[in-house]
Copies of this chain bind each other. A is one copy, B any other.
């Protein structure tokens, strides 16, 4: 059994799910949370790749925040890219809109 230690090097790139592969139930569940709705709205108010995770000012700790971003990735809502020690974010607006027309607008529309 070839025991090779971690072929060290990079930090594991974030795993993404394309909106086309996301069931409706998953999308709705991801959006049906106050913290995640907050993240999505903040994300929509800034340009792509301008916000790292730590820039989001939500009322939970780092661990919970990381979990929420994972849920958003799995729902095809957010794309992430590593840059230095930071992880930059982008709202997958067009792709998600194509899969679930109107859903994102509904969440972003202030009411």
| Bound CA–CA A5/B90 (angstroms) | 61
| Bound CA–CA A9/B1 (angstroms) | 79
Contact between chains at A111 and B34 (CB < 8 Å): no
| Bound CA–CA A32/B29 (angstroms) | 5
Q: Which residues of B contact A111 (CB under 8 A)?
A: 24
* Interface size in chain A (residues, C-beta < 8 A): 16
What sequence of 0s and 1s flags, for each residue 33-68 of chain A, a beta carbon within 8 Å of any chain B beta carbon? Answer: 010010000000000000000000000000000000
Contact between chains at A32 and B37 (CB < 8 Å): no
Binding site for B on A (CB under 8 A): 24-25, 28-29, 31-32, 34, 37, 100-103, 105-107, 111
